[in-house]
Amino acid sequence: MKKSTIPSLVIATVLLASFRFSPTCLAAPKLQSLIPTTVNTSPDYFCTWNIQGYYSSYATSALQKEAVEEKQMFGKGPYQNWLGQYPQVRQDLYFLLDEGWDLPKEEVMVLPGRFPSYASETQSESFEKLSDAVKKSGWRGLGLWMRADPKMDDFWTERMRWMQTSGVPYWKVDYGDSSRDETWRRHLTELGRQTAPDLTIETAMIPHAITWSDTYRTYDVDALLSVPQTLGRVVTQLQFKAEPPAKGLINCEDEVYLGAALGCSYGVMRHSFVGNLPSGRQDFVFPPLTRDLKKCTDEVVRAVRWHRIAPAFAVGANAVATSTEQLTDNWIFQKDESWRLGAGQQVSEKAPAAVTRGLPLPSVTLASGTIKPFVLASRNPNGAVAIATLGRTLCPSATDRQWITGEVADVTLQVGQNSGPIGIFGRYHSLNLLFDKSVTKHIVIAQDLAGDVPQNITRLVRIEGNQVTIPGAVIDHIGRSAATPGDKSDPGLVLVVRPK
């Protein structure tokens, strides 16, 4: 194995400088975009729960639920137009109305008081009108939150038929009286397959339920420790194998680069309303610290577009490798830095340093410092490969608060067969890709997953035998070349190594 050196990084930086002065030298307008125009097939969604909370300043749970109304979804007033989120990828995402949309009685009905423009003579027609309006706004479809309550089969069958007829494709079945009742949850899922075959039913809270479920949500986390919290839960899910006809997909919620690297679906929670809550209080669900997640919406765009290339895939679809080394993150919470923890509380979370699906574990060598990133990778059943570095959250003291990204590490991944695109997420000092055959007579094309212009980066990388070494400066530049001004997202790109 050959290790990238500082001089190679310097050379890459010099080449990138010349590229900025002469952008046509690497631009490849005749190359076809590496990102398909076809819509994502993974059951990814944008969830309204946190936008409901922001709108209501999280004043009370009741107000957060009552915020779900037609005027908030479609209106143009302050903190309204919720359907205006993610214009670049909303055609790939379901728009999921979270808890409160069917209050006060949670009867799973479109209520005239909440959606006056969509009330019809029948509930099926009402759902169809609301669903069509969501699609007209550019979204892939309408998703709905459901309370896990053991009502009679006739109740659920009727409502599933409404979904099938009206084209509502997703249910997020959350907490409730039967949230941890596996028999009931499994029965509801099977009832859905019989009654509404186009309806995906999400479950939660029972880890092995992923063996028979469509999607399994890893559940709520703290934004400041969400990487190790979510990764630990994903690793738990990866020990299972889906049993047909289960789809067996892990929904990793808002950790989208984690999901891109490990073949999970997403439940996006971050939104465009930045800054303090309308009440003036700091947004304690997405505090403006470490990554400052609400200013990292390009990550969502990149991860969702990656799913056009490499969709989420079932647990058990390939072998899982997990490193024995555990990395521990920690945080000392201050006022308004968590939705569940108070000032002064210290929390530590640990997860494996490296996890792969269908690939050997990567080699990680520190080029500087002493803190390794988390490194994740997978080979999709369609041949595409993804790799990500995820940063570390460390708080040695109340005044020493750190977010350390992967730019400190040289990462080597044995790709093996060069059978598809490679998605690269996060930051690196260098990334070394090892193939099973020589690639000396190949070229390297890369494209920001948030953009549409591929670029020939062959002379910015080093190709020796079966190894391609990409300096971190190149990943940063290409992987953020289509970045939204002011966005803080880590880079994300798609790369192909193809014969000249």
Pairing of strands 409-416, 363-366: antiparallel
Residue 419 has what pLDDT?
Answer: 82
Q: DSSP letter for 494, please.
A: E
Residue 11 has what pLDDT?
Answer: 47
Judge contact between 421 and 34, C-beta under 8 A: yes
One digit per residue, pLDDT tens: the chain, 500 residues?
A: 333 344 445 545 545 654 443 343 444 457 999 999 999 999 999 999 999 999 999 999 999 999 999 999 999 999 999 999 999 999 999 999 999 999 999 999 999 999 999 999 999 999 999 999 999 999 999 999 999 999 999 999 999 999 999 999 999 999 999 999 999 999 999 999 999 999 999 999 999 999 999 999 999 999 999 999 999 999 999 999 999 999 999 999 999 999 999 999 999 999 999 999 999 999 999 999 999 999 999 999 999 999 999 999 999 999 999 999 999 999 999 999 999 999 999 999 999 999 999 999 999 999 999 999 999 999 999 999 999 999 999 999 989 999 999 999 999 999 999 889 999 999 999 999 999 999 999 999 999 999 999 999 999 999 999 999 999 999 999 999 999 999 999 999 999 999 99
Q: Comparing C-alpha atoms, which of 389, 369, 384 is closest to residue 418?
A: 384
Q: Which residue has the tokens 């340093």?
A: 353
52-82 in b/e form (b: 16+ CB < 10 A) is bbbbbbbeeeeebbebbbbebbbeeeebbbb
404 conformational bin, left if phi > 0, alpha if psi -120 to 50, beta if neither: beta
Considering the entire predicted model, what is its pTM?
Answer: 0.95
Q: DSSP letter for 2, please.
A: P
Residue 30 has what pLDDT?
Answer: 78
Instruction: Kindly list the distances between the CA atom of residue 347 and the CA atoms of 230, 287, 341, in Å, as whole numbers in the listed order.
Output: 15, 16, 9
Judge contact between 492 and 450, C-beta under 8 A: yes
Domains, in order of start, for the chain = 6-36+319-499 (no CATH), 45-309 (3.20.20)
Q: Comparing C-alpha atoms, which of 335, 338, 392, 387 is closest to residue 359?
A: 387
Burial of 437 (0-12, 13-18, 19+ CB in 10 A): exposed
Please name the residues in contact with 21: beta carbons below 8 A apart, sequence gap of 6 or more. Answer: none
334-362 in b/e form (b: 16+ CB < 10 A) is bebbbbebeeeeebebebbbbbbbbbbbb
Cα angle, residue 186 at apex, residues 351 and 263 outer, rounded to 5°: 35
Rounding to the nearest 10 degrees, give the CA dihedral for residues 314, 165, 95, 36: 60
Cα–Cα distance between 428 and 405 in angstroms, integer? 8
Phi, psi at 435, each rounded to 5°: -100, 170
Residue 91 Cα to chain centre, angstroms: 16
Residue 16 has what pLDDT?
Answer: 60
Please name the residues in contact with 46: beta carbons below 8 A apart, sequence gap of 6 or more. Answer: 85, 86, 90, 93, 94, 95, 96, 268, 271
Phi, psi at 472, each rounded to 5°: -60, -30
Helix (H) or strand (E) run with residue 441 in it: none
Q: DSSP letter for 37, please.
A: S
Q: Comparing C-alpha atoms, which of 110, 111, 140, 105 is closest to residue 124?
A: 110
Residue 316 has what pLDDT?
Answer: 98
